[in-house]
Amino acid sequence: MLSVPTLWTVSVTNFFALGLVWVYVQRCYPKFEAARFWTAAAFAATAGAAASMLRGVIDFPLLLIGCNALLTLACWFVVMGVQRFYTVPISWRAPALGIGLTCIGLAYFQFVHDDIAARIAVYSLGQIVPAAISLHLLRREDQNAGARLAAICCVLLIIGHGTRSVLALLHVGGDLSIVDFNGIQAALILIVIFLSMAWNFGLLLMAIDRLRNEVADLALVDDLTGVGNRRHLVQRLTEECARSARSAEPFALLVIDLDDFKGINDNHGHAAGDACLQHFALMAQTRLRPGDMLARSGGDEFCIVLPSSSLREGTMIARRVLEVCRADAAECAGKEIPIAVSIGVAQWTREIGAYPDRLIAAADQALYEAKKRGRDGYAISEPAPPLVPEIADMPDIMSRKTA
């Protein structure tokens, strides 16, 4: 036999433990707003389960309504946390309406027409509505494993609460009282408690996956300029080389170096040098197309990856970057530092294959050529011409063909 007070004791313990976990997550990641609502949900459920343990012990007519209101509030807190997770605007109107109607229904079937089966149905409906809203939010194309687990738990919770209501209204399983439920109802309460725990674990997995992705993104971003770092550049170049090797569609790479950057650091200080790097990154991004990638490969060197672009299109982007830098330098006055750059342009070829370092070397060679020409310009790395057999070898080739 399942003891209902024991079940509520288990609920208090588990929800309180989950609340402590969410407090830890919230303190470690204060900008993760969803954790605040999920923390509130865990402690509201703890308070509701603790109040439910006192039913039949304390003769207080509003205790039943209060504990069920707290448990319903916990579900709405979960909904609001999911909304914040997916950056959906939060409104307190729906939670207030849902909790208010649940309390009115419970009060009616307690003080006006005492019917415990109807109270179970009202409470279950109060739980089903927020679970259904959460399910709608969780059914997204970009859902992760945690979101899938939470969505499955929402479905099962809706089924569990619905089954409990129907069986209570049909008086299946025997009599009901405030303290002692029949065996079927006690088993269903146990299932609902278990699903609530699993629902929280799904939310926790969602949080872990989101935080892990944010850390991964930070590992690919240059702290100073906010563009991609060298790791991100190599990753993108590897992907583009593999794609071009499959499709034979070329792409272009620009290697950019700030002219006399060491002189800027020596004469104006490293803070001024950092400001120049940031300013150049902003200027260059204004001349890029959607899908192009700007990355800082190290020091004063940047790279621009131009997917599905020829050498001619790469040259056009190089001219745009030079033009914006020259226009900005012409407007400098006083203590403002003009920025000049040299650019090397290269295009992927079959000889490069799936090796991004070969493409980088070709663009670097073009950059050195631009530096030799006097800087503040660009140079192109011309693709190597296809191999043509020597004239002296032609008779031998023809003879082999004839043979």
Tokens of 94: 């729906």
DSSP 3-state percent helix, strand, coil across the chain (nearest 5): 65, 10, 25
Shared-domain flag, residues 342 and 317: yes
Per residue in 187-225, pLDDT tens? Answer: 888 899 899 989 999 999 999 888 888 777 778 888 899
Instruction: Please state the rounded mean pLDDT for residues 65-83.
Output: 94
Q: How confident is the model at residue 98 (pLDDT cuts 50, 70, 90)?
A: very high
55 versus 26: the higher-pLDDT residue is 26
Question: At residue 30, what is the residue type?
Answer: P
Shared-domain flag, residues 208 and 108: yes
Does residue 385 sit within a domain? no
Q: How confident is the model at residue 236 (pLDDT cuts 50, 70, 90)?
A: very high
- Provide the residue range defining the domain that includes 16: 4-218
Shared-domain flag, residues 25 and 58: yes
Q: What is the pLDDT of residue 38?
A: 95
Alpha helices (runs of H) in 219-260, residue ranges in sequence order? 230-247
Shared-domain flag, residues 243 and 207: no
Strands 378-380 and 341-347: parallel
5 versus 234: the higher-pLDDT residue is 234
Is residue 313 scored above 90 in pLDDT?
Answer: yes
Q: What is the pLDDT of residue 139?
A: 84
Which H helix or E strand runs over 96? Answer: helix 93-107
CA-to-CA distance for 120 and 268, rounded, in angstroms? 75
Neighbours of 163 (CB within 10 A): 16
Mean pLDDT of the chain: 87
Does residue 74 sit within a domain? yes
Dihedral sign, Cα of residue 266, residue 267, residue 272, residue 273: negative
For 235: left if phi > 0, alpha if psi spans -120 to 50, otherwise beta; the answer is alpha
Alpha helices (runs of H) in 178-229, residue ranges in sequence order? 183-218
Q: What is the pLDDT of residue 5?
A: 72
Give the domain-ending residue among 218, 250, 265.
218
- Percent of the chain past pLDDT 90, that is, above it, reads 57
Does residue 386 sit within a domain? no
Is residue 181 scored above 80 in pLDDT?
Answer: no
CATH (domain of 54): 1.20.1070
CA-to-CA distance for 174 and 110, rounded, in angstroms? 20
Q: What is the pLDDT of residue 271?
A: 92
Does residue 338 sit within a domain? yes
Does residue 112 sit within a domain? yes
Shared-domain flag, residues 271 and 186: no
Shared-domain flag, residues 199 and 334: no
Please give the sequence-ordered ranges of beta strands (E in DSSP) within 259-371, or none if there are none.
Answer: 293-298, 301-306, 341-347
233 versus 3: the higher-pLDDT residue is 233
Cross-strand bridge partners of residue 256? 302, 343
Q: How confident is the model at residue 395 (pLDDT cuts 50, 70, 90)?
A: very low
Does residue 45 sit within a domain? yes
Q: What is the pLDDT of residue 293?
A: 94
Q: What is the pLDDT of residue 57?
A: 66
Shared-domain flag, residues 265 and 341: yes
Shared-domain flag, residues 180 and 237: no
Does residue 223 sit within a domain? no
Instruction: Please state the rounded mean pLDDT for residues 340-351.
Output: 92
Count structural domains, the chain. 2
Burial track 36-69 (b if 16+ CB lie within 10 A, e otherwise): bbbbbbbbbbbbbbbbbbebeeeeeeebbbbbbb
Shared-domain flag, residues 206 and 237: no
Shared-domain flag, residues 189 and 251: no
CATH (domain of 265): 3.30.70.270
Shared-domain flag, residues 235 and 179: no
Is residue 300 scored above 80 in pLDDT?
Answer: yes
Is residue 382 scored above 80 in pLDDT?
Answer: no
Shared-domain flag, residues 257 and 281: yes
